[in-house]
Structure 1
Amino acid sequence: MLEEPAQATQPKARIAEVFGVFLKLGLTSFGGPIAHLGYFRTEFVERRRWLDDGAYADLVALCQFLPGPASSQVGFALGLMRGGWWGACAAFVGFTLPSALLLLAFAQIMPLLSGPLASGALDGLKIVAVAIVAQAVLGMARNLCPERITAGIAVGAVACLAIAPGVWGMLGAIALGAVAGAALIRPEMSATGRSLDMPMTRRQGIGALVVFAAMICLLPFLADLSQMFAMLDGFVRAGALVFGGGHVVLPLLEAETVAQGWVSGDAFLAGYGAAQAVPGPLFTFATYLGAVQGPGPNGVTGALLASLAIFAPGFLILIAALPHWAQLRSQPAAQALMRGANAAVVGVLGAALYDPVFTTAIGDLADLALALACLVLLMLWRCPPWLVVLGAAGAGATLGIIT
């Protein structure tokens, strides 16, 4: 009789532990998904010893292989492993909540910003986005396009978008990149992945895959019924197509919001710049867009719906893949296909660097000089992104006053 309360409270204590540690990480994890993975390893492998280096590396490889926000997927899986399904939810909320609230607050105050000081600061946020996306393109090209074939696939993706811009052009470019990878890249065998001890079954994985397929197939038809379904369809599609890192969500969200006339180009880039100055996952940029979009639902309701819609596909795909990962990652053909898709993603992001990022943010030589200065600070001086963002906003405000 006396043991039952202790047994009952142990899962609650674990869930509280998971929420607490991920809330701390959500408040302090600056630097993007790669930095987040480093923070996670320090916290969960070295300090808390929830798993060893081999299991952690295997989990990271899985989340890099799948579409979606890699660092948030790793956090979700760690919470699942530690505290079950409620632990997974606690990890997601704790890691995501700080940046989501900060960007929601920015969305609320942005319409109040006026005058040369405020408009200059917003211009600075747009300009620093050029440097941040350029850094992402260069880093991804170095890692994902190191040889002739993958570099050619990236260039081919840019050509596809020149012919067919928009969401379907991006989808076609990534699909053609995957086909080219499977046909042209020589497969290489890799070691069989270690098993991950997750409290889930293959039936649950199949259920998650069914829910994912239903969302992808049904929402485009429901989009004609109301603006809410149209918004959910756009953010779900963006979350389902992101390969290769959080910055890739930029062109997808631009196509789903700015191209639809829901968000202005200036507001889009200002929010993207602000997203670099907050900790946590870059996907919370969707929180901002859901709040500021013109047609309803917007505000707090739009922010919540957009946030859930963009994260859901990556988590469902992860749940579906976890029971099968060890077998899948040992298949050379699957690896070649994913290398081609990742190379195409570099081209998609490179096209976005030109339009809408550069064409919207850079108006004269002073803007270009500030963008280049931000790029140098990020790549050569290794300054924290949040510090560069704040500096760019200050410089933009100064230019606004002077001009």
Structure 2
Amino acid sequence: MLLIFKTFFFLGCISFGGPAAHIGYFRSAFVEKRQWLSSEDYAQLIALSQFLPGPGSSQIGFAIGYQRAGVLGGICAFLGFTLPSILLMVMAASLSSAFLNNDIFEGIIHGLKLLAVVVVADATFSMYRNFCQTKLTTTLCVMTACFILLLPSVASQLISLTIAAIVGARWIPDKQSPTTPSSLPSHSNTSYKEWVAGGLFLSFFFILPWFGDLNVTLKVFSEFFQTGSLVFGGGHVVLPLLQSNLELQSGLDSVNSLQGQISSEQFLTGYATAQAVPGPMFTLATYLGYFLLPNTPILGALIATLAIFLPGFLLVIVFLGHWKTLANKPVLSSAIGGINASVVGLLLAALYQPVFVTAVEQTIDIVSIILGLFILRRFKCPILLLVIGFMLLGALLTIT
């Protein structure tokens, strides 16, 4: 448990760049370095996270901890990866947004965004070599990337993965070897843990809203749980849905109202801060929860954080074992081959938008990315050294 926690805690301290970058960090840490799972199993976790609502990269991290040490392992992975971001968001909420105007700080964040480009590019290239070895899989990858770039939306992602699954099931031969070990849980019957997780999800989603008006704490938990249950497509999608849910509270009385305690300026400052700190962007809920329970701000931050992450984790417990069971069937195994290729296309599209677009501002940024890729791939430089190097680079570019 301690190993899982400290490994994810380290990643939570350096994982800038959003879900696409997190996927790259996780692959480097758990597939290449520690070999906790194979490339194929990791790609299946990515595919599963695309189909389920919730924070995709955090679901992948939870699933990795879950397959290593059960539910407690998943909890340790979640706490380790999310704790640095939670602490920073609470600090930002308590100290206001003044530190965001510091030029050196903004320079450091810029350098870490450039590192995110390097990490995502490396992950994309590595996964392309593993899962796009035929003309058909390469075509699925390229067409997915083009489709997502032209029509960026959650629906486009789901359509691409669905089409890739159908094409894979029909035309990609099943090459799965029965002797290949898998680290993912696999079973055909529903276990008690899955029944409990499914029951909790349904209860919190359908029943809890009826009791939310009785207590403001329940209202906070319910609203953020509803948001986490409906967000498909990653951290950026949480912004409009959270904003909509908070605005819907305007009709409540002053005791239970969730609107009015957070101004538009605070809301957008929290969103900007969530992009500036490492870890999942869903910790925007931490920042907002701090202001929603002004008498107990720390409690509000923790409740909002738990509520927005919990639905995705419950659904991972419900579906992970059956996902692997279905994938072992020849037709579905072939479909997974198509999905894997499409996932590479999703990552390729994310490499450009939002990772590259938000990071690159001038020619020196391109040079830094090229050199970073060269150092990472040629010399296998540890991520920590690259983090320090790009932080110094960002600060230096700001000064000069």
Identity of aligned residues (%): 21
What is the aligned partner in structure 2 of residue 35 from structure 1?
Answer: 29
Distance 2:376 2:291 in 1: 37
1:154 touches 1:345 (CA, 8 Å); kept in 2? yes
The equivalent of 1:336 in structure 2 is 334
Give the counterpart of 1:117 among 95, 104, 110.
Answer: 104
Change (3 A) 1:295 1:162: farther
AA partner of residue 143 (structure 2):
G
Unaligned runs of at least 5 residues, structure 1:
1-18, 43-55, 81-87, 242-250, 276-284
**Partner residue of 2:250?**
none
* Contact 1:228–1:296 under 8 Å retained in 2: no
| CA–CA distance in structure 2, aligned partners of residues 215 and 126 of structure 1 | 39
> Structure 1: how far apart are the matches of 2:185 and 2:373?
42
Aligned residues of 2:131 and 2:337 also touching (Cα < 8 A) = yes
Give the alignment of 1:1-40 within 5 angstroms.
Answer: 19-27=1-9, 32-33=26-27, 35-36=29-30
Give the direction of change, closer, same or farther, for the CA distance of 1:388–1:302 in structure 2 (3 Å limit). farther
Q: Return the offset for 1:143.
A: 1.1
- For the residue of structure 1 that corresponds to 2:318, the secondary structure is helix
Q: How much does 1:270 deviate? A: 3.0
Q: Which residue is equivalent to 1:270? A: 276
Shift of 1:109: 4.5
2:316 partner amino acid: G
- CA distance in structure 2 between the partners assigned to 1:23 and 1:313 by the alignment: 21
Q: Which amino acid aligns with 1:174?
A: L
Q: Distance in 2 between matches of 1:309 and 1:366?
A: 42
**Contact persistence 2:10–2:81 (CA under 8 A):** no
Q: In the alignment, what sits opposite 2:286?
A: 291
Say which of 109, 125, 130 aligns to 2:117. 130
Q: Residues 44 and 340 of structure 2 are in contact (CA less than 8 Å); yes or no, is this contact kept in structure 1?
A: no
Closer, same or farther in 2 for the Cα pair 1:310/1:394, shift >3 Å? farther
Map 1:50-69; keep pairs closer than 5 Å. Answer: 64=45, 67-68=48-49, 69=59
- Equivalent residues in 2 for 1:57-96 (5 A)? 64=45, 67-68=48-49, 69-70=59-60, 72-80=62-70, 88-89=71-72, 91-96=73-78
In 2: Cα distance, 1:382 partner to 1:148 partner: 30
Confirm or deny: 8 A CA contact 2:146 2:349 kept in the other structure.
no
**Matched letter for residue 202 of structure 1:** T
Unaligned segments of structure 2, at least 5 residues: 15-24, 50-58, 214-218, 244-266, 293-299
Q: 1:138 to 1:290 in 2, by over 3 A?
A: farther
Deviation per CA, 1:93-123: give whole Å up to 9, x if none: 3333233221222334553243221111111
> Does the 8 Å CA contact 1:236/1:313 hold for their aligned counterparts?
no
> 2:302 — aligned with what?
300
CA contact (8 A) 2:144 2:342 kept: yes
Aligned counterparts, 1:147-186, within 5 A = 147-186=134-173
Q: Partner of 1:14 in structure 2?
A: none
Q: CA RMSD in A?
A: 4.3
Q: Contact 2:166 / 2:335 at 8 angstroms: preserved in 1? A: yes
Distance 1:172 1:213, change over 3 A: farther
Paired letter, 1:318: L
Aligned mate of 2:379, from 358, 378, 381? 381
Tell me which amino acid in the other structure corresponds to 1:255: V
- Counterpart for residue 317 of structure 2: 315
What is the SS of the residue equivalent to 2:117? helix
Distance of aligned partners of 1:198 and 1:177 in 2 relative to their CA distance in 1, 3 Å threshold: closer
Whole-angstrom CA distance in 2 between matches of 1:236 and 1:142: 34
CA shift, 1:152, in A, is 0.4
Partner residue, 2:256: none
- Are the counterparts in 1 of residues 47 and 340 from structure 2 also a CA contact under 8 Å? no
Distance in 1 (CA, whole Å) between partners of 2:181 and 2:113 is 43
Matched, 1:139 2:126: yes
97 and 207 in structure 1: CA distance in 2 versus 1, 3 angstrom threshold: closer
CA change 1:401–1:346 in 2 (3 A) is same
The CA deviation string for residues 256-304 of structure 1, in whole angstroms up to 9 with x for no partner, is 4489877688645533xx34xxxxxxxxx14534334699768433333
**Distance of 2:69 and 2:177 partners within structure 1:** 27
TM-score in terms of structure 2 length: 0.67
Aligned mates of 1:351, 1:131 — CA distance in 2: 14
Which secondary structure state, in structure 2, belongs to the residue aligned with residue 188 of structure 1? coil
Q: Aligned pair in 2 of structure 1 residues 159, 377: CA closer, same or farther (>3 Å)?
A: same
In structure 2, what is the Cα distance between the partners aligned to 1:124 and 1:144? Answer: 30
Q: CA separation in 2, counterparts of 1:131 and 1:192?
A: 35
Aligned residue pairs, count = 334
Partner of 1:254: 236
| Cα distance in 2 for residues equivalent to 1:61 and 1:355 | 23
TM-superposed CA distance for 1:340, in Å, is: 0.7
Instruction: After TM superposition, give the deviation of residue 237 of structure 1 in Å.
Output: 5.6
In 2: Cα distance, 1:150 partner to 1:209 partner = 35
Identify if the C-alpha distance between structure 1 residues 346 and 66 changes in structure 2 by more than 3 Å, giving closer, same or farther: closer
Query: Which region of structure 1 is more displaced relative to structure 2, 70-79 or 193-202?
Result: 193-202
